Amino acid sequence: MIFGCHVSIRGGYLSAAKHAKQIGAQAFQYFPKNPRSLSVKEFDLADAKSCRRFCEENGLFSIAHTPYPTSITPPTEKQELNIVSILNDLAIADACGSKGIVVHFGSRISEENPLASYHLMLEMLNSILEKWDGDCLLLLENNAGKQAALGTELEELVQVRNLSQYPAKIGFCLDTCHAFASGMWDGSNTLAFKEKADSLGYTEHLKAIHLNNSMHPHGSRKDRHANIYKGGKILPEQMDGIISAFSDIPFILETPSEYGVSHEEEIRVLKRLELSRPAKTTRKKGE
């Protein structure tokens, strides 16, 4: 299994990758630029390429996360700003060798026309991806359900990908806190949840999982992350269950550090749990 966490790019992209390796991560996520701005960043291409080489040499997996203001259902006056910003994020992440950039599913823009948000999402995605020819994917992330958010059902995410003009350029990122808070997954229905994800074609395009506990109960629609095994409403055995169900997907922590638990400690615990699990055996044909 692959475990990692979100890291800072304060010292540059190569520095972020080195920090991830130093704390024992096998994967990492980063903001490609100022997380509070949609401005286009003139980035250091040499630094980004050095990051790519380091990751290739050390077997590190990475993804990037778009800045907080990013939206694929923005008001008309901000649509071009978001398109240009997301293309900038894709270019940076691609240069760093990252698998994709995470963008949150859109929000409801009209009470009178429920389909308006989906139409706008598709228009935005098509406008972005027709201009993009790199290897980096755009990864749609499920929402927790706050502020009229959509993207709380697997069917929505899969359908938007299917209806886009460029489905091969779109993948998914599953957030466990969001899935729990939205009601999509309650911790005890992991087998049914995984079977549904498989049958819809979601799992085959799932490239990363944000491994987060939730500070609020199932179905609360409140997006507040908790540490994996401390202070969360998702029970340890339920967290272990989701990890086992999606064991071949990289897990990346976005958990808080202000409660005395570091990412390094959590990764160490997760690795120990992996080592303590019984090894899987493969049955030969005819046995």
88-107 average pLDDT score: 97
276 pLDDT higher than 90: no
Q: Does the pTM of the predicted model rise above 0.85? A: yes
Give the model's pLDDT for residue 282: 40
- Regarding the domain with residue range 3-276, which homologous superfamily does it belong to in the CATH classification? Divalent-metal-dependent TIM barrel enzymes (3.20.20.150)
Band the pLDDT of 274: cuts 50, 70, 90: confident
Q: Can you give the three-state secondary structure of 100-136, one letter per residue? A: EEEEECCECCCCCCCCHHHHHHHHHHHHHHCCCCCCC
Rounded Cα gap, residues 220 and 206, in angstroms? 25
Rounded Cα gap, residues 231 and 213, in angstroms? 8
Give the model's pLDDT for residue 283: 39
Band the pLDDT of 279: cuts 50, 70, 90: low
Q: CA nearest 228: which of 3, 2, 23?
A: 3
Rounded Cα gap, residues 127 and 287, in angstroms? 52
Band the pLDDT of 286: cuts 50, 70, 90: very low
pLDDT tens digits along 202-243: 999 999 999 999 999 999 999 999 999 988 999 999 999 999
170 pLDDT higher than 70: yes
DSSP state of 236: H
Q: What is the overall mean pLDDT for the chain?
A: 94
Q: CA nearest 206: which of 144, 149, 151, 141?
A: 141
Give the model's pLDDT for residue 203: 98
pLDDT tens digits along 173-196: 999 999 999 999 999 999 999 999
Give the E-state strand segments of 177-239 in sequence order: 206-211, 213-214, 225-226
Q: How far is CA 253 from CA 32, 147, 250, in A?
A: 17, 24, 10
Q: How far is CA 210 from CA 2, 43, 76, 177, in A?
A: 12, 26, 30, 8
pLDDT tens digits along 124-157: 999 999 999 999 999 999 999 987 679 999 999 9
Give the model's pLDDT for residue 149: 78
Q: Please state the domain extents for the chain.
A: 3-276
Taking a C-beta distance cutoff of 8 angstroms, is the pair 173, 139 a contact? yes
Give the model's pLDDT for residue 284: 40
245-271 average pLDDT score: 95
Taking a C-beta distance cutoff of 8 angstroms, is the pair 101, 64 a contact? yes
Q: Would you say how long the chain is, in residues?
A: 287
